[in-house]
Amino acid sequence: MAVEKTTQVNPALMPFDELNALRYSLVYGQYTDADGKRRYVSTYADLEDEFEDILILSYILGNKAAGEMLGIEPTVDVDAMEKAVNKKIADKTWRERLREQLDGGGTVEDIMRIAETESHRDTNEAIYDMARASGMELYKTWQTMGDDRVREAHEEIQGQTVPFDDVFVTWDGHEARFPGDFDDAELNVNCRCWLSVSTA
């Protein structure tokens, strides 16, 4: 009988300090003039750089989490990280979504929603990428935060464990390799679910 090794890792994997600093910058700091008016468009390049730094850090944190789950030394594949950071969901990159919000007068909450959603996806994608690169025979499990904010489609796959190369499938047929990976962007926005991996 195979012994399953599962290590629970704190699901609060995202870089919350950096995300909070971004929110502060949007409300009070470098993206707001002294009169309180927003100047996002004129500082788009700076804002884009800040987003990218957060997403890279999210990927590194996901790598670290995967290493802890599997008991191996985390390593970052730069090509895989670049692919994850620049991934298109519903045919749009985070840069395109950010530009739409800035050009359309998006609120701080609209901009933060993009940062948090993309950070969440990058963290889970890093867990997935590192686990895949380990070469181990693995299973993966969809984990939710287990509270009343979990959307129905994700609640139904809570705790679902599948072979690593399989996908998670919602009741209405949407597929994802890990939380944040749905083609339907609406299933990714504000998601707080996380991927755990285990050996068998």
Cα–Cα nearest to 192, from 5, 4, 1, 19: 19
Distance, in Å, from the CA atom of 51 to the CA atom of 35, rounded to the nearest integer, reads 25
Cβ within 8 Å of residue 136, ≥6 positions away: 70, 199
Cα–Cα nearest to 135, from 190, 72, 84: 72
Distance, in Å, from the CA atom of 181 to the CA atom of 136, rounded to the nearest integer, reads 22
Average pLDDT of the residues of the chain: 88
pTM of the model: 0.89
Query: pLDDT digits over 143-200, tens only?
Result: 998 888 888 889 999 999 999 999 999 988 999 999 999 988 889 998 989 999 998 6
Distance, in Å, from the CA atom of 85 to the CA atom of 192, rounded to the nearest integer, reads 18
> Are the C-beta atoms of 189 and 101 separated by less than 8 Å?
no
> Are the C-beta atoms of 11 and 179 separated by less than 8 Å?
no
What local confidence, expressed as pLDDT, does residue 102 receive?
86
